[in-house]
Structure 1
Amino acid sequence: MANFTLTHLTYAGAGLPTASVEFDPKFTVIYGSSNTGKTFLVDSIDYMLGGHVRPSIPRAEGYGQILLGLLLPDGRPLTLVRKPGGKSIHVHQDDLRELSHATPDAIVSARRIRSRRDISHYLLSKLGLDDTYVRTNEGGNTELLKLADLTHLSVVTDTRMIDPNPPSQRTRGTAARTTARSVMKLMLTGEDEPPATKLPNAAQRRVQRGKINLIDSLALDLHAKLSRDQTPDELRDQLAGLEDSLNNMARSLAGESEQQARVVAARAHLAETDAELEARLGEVLDLLGRFDTLRQQYETDLARLEMVSEAGNLLGYFQVGRCVFCGADPEHQQAQHGHQETTQLHEAVLVESAKTHSLLADLRLTIEGLEGQRDELAERRTALSAQAAEADGALAQIEARLAPLRDGLQDTVDERLRVERDLELRARLDELEEHRSQLVAQGALPSKRRESLIAGRILSSFDELFQRTLDSWRIPDVEGASYDPYSGDVSAGGTARAGHGRGMRALLHAAFSIALARYCLDRRLPHLGFLVLDSPLVTYKEPDFDADRIPPNVIDHFYRSFLAFPGQAIVVENATPPPDVLEQARIVTFSGSGARPGFFPARPSTANRT
């Protein structure tokens, strides 16, 4: 039979030292002072296997991940990662021992309720027990095996160790006793229960009648919410017609919207072009203004030059002969007093006048060209304005066609929602009616289904192993040790376990768990493969229990019995193991101080962190 092996339990948190304990594949002893986290460690293992009670101690504050490492039956590693208080478990097909943010291979619910996505189904499928049924009541009803049905037999916490409740039962009650008996039959024989249809008993029938009344009330409420009295077929036909109308409207709306988009794009292009023309026209008008000012300046210069020329002619400045300035005849004029002095002004006026006339002619050509561009730009802007007005008209027409389409589409969508809501209400009414019919049909009292018992020879073999386990610990007065499949309890020395004191109850519970694990593992029968026992020796006792103290030699023999255990054993205790066990087992000591004060390492002081 396939089994698991625990490899480590780790608490990890950002900025905190990792707290971890590694388990030996055969035998691990965790012992030491009280209040160091030993019981917290066991509770954490149970919590990681789907337990609903979150273990909590002050030193665990700040740790954001709990990691439980396992080896699958084929030897592959598996790490379960759960946030304290989280309702889901991340499954990694790897051996992780530090704070991890890797993408998990699977995410399952932490509740052991046997859905297809919870930790129970995931782990039981690895053991080949995912389609195993156990009996749940005397009427013969069955349900799928839960991981919790096996976990409480492999992980025994300190409270359960001394609890008077039978060690084979997970909880109290008649139903729990029936389930525990069926689970024990599965473990001792390898045979599960054949699936059976659940039938109600008298109390359940009373509940069913209440359900029927509730269903009738819900049906009346749903009927009141129907908008119209239409059959489901009529609603489906109406829905089909509405879908066709919506498709036609959607196509029309898409066509109009596409045309609108094209016109809007064209209108935007016209506006962009008009803006460019307006900018160019502004540049041209600015240049015309500048050039007109320059033209006026040229004309003013020419008028001045003409005035200078006329004045020179009238005064004789521009004639060759007697100097108009000194009266000397040409022959009496000095070398530097030639005719250039008398004609230089005239020549300068002529040259300047010719130059200005040339510039003015060029300027007038430029102005004429700019005036042509101005007129062309103005004409183009006028044409663009007409095109823009035409586009605005087309958009108005499209919008006028779109408005009724949108209104009609919204009305059709609202009507479709109403029909779909009515269809959903009709479907819920049909479901309620079907459920009501099932409840009515299941109202008969079912006959008891005969329970298949565990064969006497198997019970004798188990009782013999149970007795040998107690005898190997050298416990006095435990003759006749046996397991009662009807009550689920064990007895020794002629007294049921519940009738003994705390110390003997703990030893009998531990012996039962060890014997069950040995029996299953030796015969390859269903078992998780590991056994975790918390405080089986109960070293701390109240004064009233002095007569129930465990002799020291029992402690030594108890530890030595695990050296030949066929599976994996983890014992959490206050009592110190004998030297030979210290040499052969993995020993984890919590001293309360020093290098390993407890499960959680000492946190660095503020001074050290700074």
Structure 2
Amino acid sequence: MNETIKIRSICFLGTRVAPAFIEFDQSLSVVCGASDTGKSFLVEAIDFLLGGKELREIPELDGYDKARIAVESSEKGVWTFERSTQGGNYRIFEGNVEAATDVNGSGTIKMKHAAGKEDNISGWLLGVIDLLNKCVRKNANGDCRSLSFRDLARLIIVNEQEIIRQDSPFLTGQYISKTAEKSTLKLMLTGSDDSSIVPLDSQKQSESNDQAKAELLEQWIADVEDEITEFGVGREELEDQLEKLEKSIASNKEKLQLIQSELNELTIQRREIVRDREAIRDRKDDIADMLVRFNLLKTQYETDLHRLMAIEESGSLFVHQDRAPCSLCGAPPETQHNTEKCDGDVESVVIAAAAEMEKIKKLASDLNSTVTALHEESVRLSKDLIEIDNRFDGVEIDIKNSIAPELSDTQTTYSEFVDTRSRVISHLSVFTRLDKLLAQKDKLFGDVEEGGSDAQKVATKLSTQVLHDFSKTVERILEAWDFPDKGSVHFDEATMDFVINGKLRGNRGKGLRAITHAAATLGLLEYCKEHSLPHPGFVVLDSPLLAYYKPEGEDDTLQGTSLKQKFYKYLIEEHSDSQVIIVENEHPPESFKDQLGLTVFTKNPQHGRFGLFPPRVIQ
């Protein structure tokens, strides 16, 4: 590997926003820090500025209308390429213009690749590394096309979705590009392209139709894969998430039923308390009404007693006074018939009045006893009412301050879990749809290199010795990193992937897939360098140490191992003459801080660098 490319800087510009500028070390650069600060977007931006597909829209990009990348070529020096954030062609500047706006451009180059020409970004970059006029085979008939820098980009710029894929690090998994991807890897490992292949005769119309069907299926598959990419999570994560959601939903359902049962019990208690309280209040009201009536009766008794007492007293006066002519008939005393009863029998009236008084006194006494009993009952009921009000308040507090909020929170959590489960199931259905499309493609066409007469196919074959040497390079890297399951490494052509210590790389957990993908990517760089083969000379890796902070399980974790320490030590010592850009969540070991280019995104506007884009100032 002789001619190389190194990335000097990335810059985003807008008329009303502060420039977002980041520089890279010429050997090892590490960008790390808080989540949602633009680390992964930085990887996408590098790919976009080197001719990749449209840039993902994120809120932080608002206001930035163009982006620049400065690259240093060992052949052509330093150049800056400027491109609209919406895509399109490039303006070019000689030198690293960084964020300057008062510089004159040196012309334009195109975005679209054109065979053998350097007037486009792909051709310019391929020209630097002496791969401009190379060809790769694109199908089993031997038809070829010119190599594009996009064929190399996915082998050197690995985003966070690619680095954990279960498929080969060298294949996209797309039917129509599989042959070209195999041919590209062969070109990288051997330096020989497919320009010497003479295409076979045109196939029959039916085969053309099959090819059209295959391309249509592949387009559908690509659309579904793009949809899956937007999820940001893989099938295993979704299935694991669904399993956890089902457990959480079941747990919350039980909790919800328990809380509802407690609420029902308290509601019944409150209803009984209310019923008892109303009964007491009704009884107190009845007593109050009776006391009012009894007071009236008592007053009546007192009036009657006073009247009868007057009759008794006045009658007694008549009985005991001196004899005199009858005040009623005028008869003289001697002619009066005192032994006979008449309307003027005063003594009988006095006796009757006295008897009536005794009767009223007895009734008044009974009334007083009843009134006293009613007062005592009312006092007792008042005490009972205070107690029952306290009981009611206690139950009401339990319902309002404890049970009801807990029930509401649990219901909200339960609803969120159910909604999330629906989304996860919907996402998993997309994977099921992809499985059906892939099964249909395999049923109709099988492997792109198989089917039909083998004599009529042109297969991509890699030298056994080349694959052995390449595997040993990856094995050496894993040993240097002290990979926990290290062992013999060999390349399996059927899967286009490595078998490490008897286990296919893609069958490991996503954390170990990430670190072994990184080993494969760096292994390709080192193999090309050792054998003086063309290679861009740099790699960009997003989240290679995922197994440290987000493993899938106990068999996928690197916690407690020395791999992280030896990973950075190896890159510093073995890649001083090539550029490696690492994007990670966790910081590199403190002991290496002065031996690499470190950029930390803090997500704190008051401390250090906030993120890829500066925080917006609210005016």
Tell me the equivalent position of 1:236: none
Q: Report Cα offsets for 1:301-359 as digits up to 9, x if no partner.
A: xxxxxxxxxxxxxxxxxxxxxxxxxxxxxxxxxxxxxxxxxxxxxxxxxxxxxxxxxxx
Alpha carbons of 1:500 and 1:78: their partners in 2 closer, same or farther (altered >3 Å)? Answer: same
Counterpart mapping for 1:247-266 below 5 A: none
User: Distance between the aligned counterparts of 1:583 and 1:103, measured in 2?
Assistant: 36
Question: Does the 8 A contact of 1:186 with 1:192 survive in 2?
Answer: no
For 1:490-529, what aligned pairs fall within 5 Å after superposition? 490-529=498-537
Pick the aligned partner of 2:556 from 530, 543, 548.
Answer: 548
Matched, 1:590 2:601: yes
Aligned-pair distance for 1:452?
Answer: 6.0
Matches within 5 A, 1:369-384: none
* 1:184 has 2:195 as partner: no
The match for 1:156 is 158
Deviations 1:216-248 (A, max 9, x none): xxxxxxxxxxxxxxxxxxxxxxxxxxxxxxxxx
- Is the CA contact (8 Å cut-off) linking 1:155 and 1:532 kept in structure 2? yes
Deviation at 1:547, TM superposition (A): 3.2
Counterpart of 1:465? 473
8 Å CA contact 1:70–1:77 kept in 2: the answer is yes
Give the Å deviation of 1:169: 1.4
**Is 1:25 matched with 2:26?**
yes
Gaps of 5+ in 1: 211-444
Q: Does 1:74 align with 2:75?
A: yes
- 8 Å contact from structure 2 (residues 152, 184) kept in 1: no
Alignment partners' CA distance in 2, 1:599 and 1:546 = 34
**1:487 alignment counterpart:** 495
The answer as to whether partners of 1:190 and 1:526 remain within 8 angstroms in 2 is no
**1:282 aligns to what?**
none
Residue identity matched to 2:170: S
Counterpart amino acid of 2:476? R
Residue 543 of structure 2 is aligned to residue 535 of structure 1:
yes
**Deviation, structure 1 residue 108:** 2.8
Aligned partners of 1:17 and 1:25: how far apart in 2? 26
Residue type of the partner of 1:164?
Q
- CA–CA separation in structure 1 for the residues paired with 2:32 and 2:551: 23
Native 8 Å contact 1:170 1:180 kept in 2: no
In the alignment, the residues of structure 2 paired with residue 592 and residue 169 of structure 1 have an alpha-carbon distance, to the nearest angstrom, of 35
Q: TM-score, normalised by structure 1?
A: 0.56
Amino acid corresponding to residue 206 of structure 1 in structure 2 = N
Q: Deviations over 1:470-514 (max 9, x none)?
A: 111111223222223443222212121221110111111100001
Matched with 1:122 is 124
- Secondary structure of the residue aligned to 1:6 is strand
Give percent identity, aligned residues only.
24
Q: Do the aligned partners of residues 605 and 588 (structure 1) sit closer, same or farther apart at CA in structure 2, a change above 3 Å counting?
A: closer
CA distance in 2, matches of 1:586, 1:556: 17
**What is the alpha-carbon distance in structure 1 between the residues aligned to residue 606 and residue 456 of structure 2?**
62
The alignment partner of 2:124 has SS state of: helix
TM-fit CA distance, 1:453: 3.0
1:419 aligned partner: none
Aligned position for 1:167: 169
2:3 corresponding residue in structure 1: 2
Q: CA deviation at 1:205?
A: 3.0
State the Cα distance separating 1:575 from its structure 2 match.
2.0
Q: Secondary structure at the match of 1:158?
A: coil
Measured at CA, do residues 596 and 54 of structure 1 come closer, stay the same or move farther in structure 2, by a change above 3 Å? Answer: farther
Aligned to 1:41: 42
Q: Corresponding residue for 1:64?
A: 65
Give the match's secondary structure for 2:482: coil
SS in 2 for 1:36: coil
Cα offset, 1:177, TM superposition: 4.3
Name the SS for the 1:28 alignment partner: strand
Letter in 1 for 2:571: S
Deviation at 1:207, TM superposition (A): 7.9
- Tell me the SS of whatever aligns to 1:17: strand
How far is the alpha carbon of 1:600 from its aligned partner? Answer: 4.5
From the superposition, tell whether residues 601 and 8 of structure 1 become closer, same or farther in structure 2 (CA, over 3 Å): closer
| Aligned 8 A contact 1:40 1:56 in 2 | no
SS of the residue 2:161 aligns to: helix
Residue 205 (str. 1) matches residue 193 (str. 2): no
- The alpha carbon displacement at 1:48 in A equals 0.6
Q: For 1:65-86, what per-residue CA distance to the aligned partner results, in whole angstroms no more than 9, with x for missing partners? A: 1110101122511111111112
The Cα shift of 1:581 comes to: 2.0
Instruction: Quote how far apart the aligned CAs of 1:180 are.
Output: 2.3
Deviates more, 1:485-494 or 1:180-189: 180-189
Gaps of 5+ in 2: 214-452
Q: Tell me how far apart the structure 1 counterparts of residues 31 and 514 of structure 2 sit (CA, whole Å).
A: 18
Scaled by the length of structure 2, what TM-score is found?
Answer: 0.55
Whether the 8 Å CA contact 1:10–1:66 is kept in 2: the answer is yes
Give the 5 Å matches for 1:322-337: none
Q: Deviations over 1:95-119 (max 9, x none)?
A: 1111546553342332456584762
Deviation (angstroms), 1:556: 4.3
Summarize the Cα distance change of 1:208–1:471 in structure 2 as closer, same or farther, 3 Å threshold: closer
Is the 2:604–2:610 Cα contact (8 Å) retained in structure 1?
Answer: no
State the Cα deviation string for residues 19-55 of structure 1 (Å, max 9, x = none).
Answer: 1111111111111111111111111000111111313
1:474 matches 2:476: no
Deviation at 1:573, TM superposition (A): 0.7
For residue 585 of structure 2, the aligned residue among 565, 574, 579 is 574
Residue matched to 2:111: 110
User: 1:562 and 1:153, CA in 2 relative to 1: closer, same or farther beyond 3 A?
Assistant: farther
The reply on whether 1:453 has 2:453 as its aligned counterpart is no
1:276-291 → structure 2 map (5 Å cutoff):
none
Residues 17 and 600 (structure 1 numbering): CA distance in 2 closer, same or farther, change over 3 Å?
farther
- C-alpha distance in structure 1 between counterparts of 2:496 and 2:486, whole Å: 18
CA distance in 2, matches of 1:60, 1:466: 38
Equivalent pairs, count? 375
Compared with structure 1, are the counterparts of its residues 61 and 140 closer, same or farther at alpha carbon in structure 2 (3 Å cutoff)?
same
The CA distance in 1 between the partners of 2:175 and 2:607, in whole Å, is: 42
SS in 2 for 1:18: strand
**Residues 412-451 of structure 1, C-alpha deviations (whole Å, 9 max, x = no match):** xxxxxxxxxxxxxxxxxxxxxxxxxxxxxxxxx9963544
Report the CA distance shift for 1:112/1:591 in structure 2 as closer, same or farther (over 3 A). Answer: farther
Q: 1:207 to 1:105 in 2, by over 3 A?
A: farther
Q: CA shift at 1:17, angstroms?
A: 1.6
What RMSD, in angstroms, separates the aligned Cα atoms of the two structures?
A: 3.2
Indicate if the aligned counterparts of 1:140 and 1:449 stay in contact, CA closer than 8 A: yes
CA distance in 1, matches of 2:552, 2:162: 20
- Structure-to-structure mapping, 1:71-470, within 5 angstroms: 71-74=72-75, 76-100=77-101, 102-112=103-113, 114=115, 116=117, 119-173=121-175, 175-194=177-196, 196=198, 199-200=202-203, 205-206=208-209, 448=456, 450-451=458-459, 453-470=461-478
Deviation at 1:594, TM superposition (A): 4.3
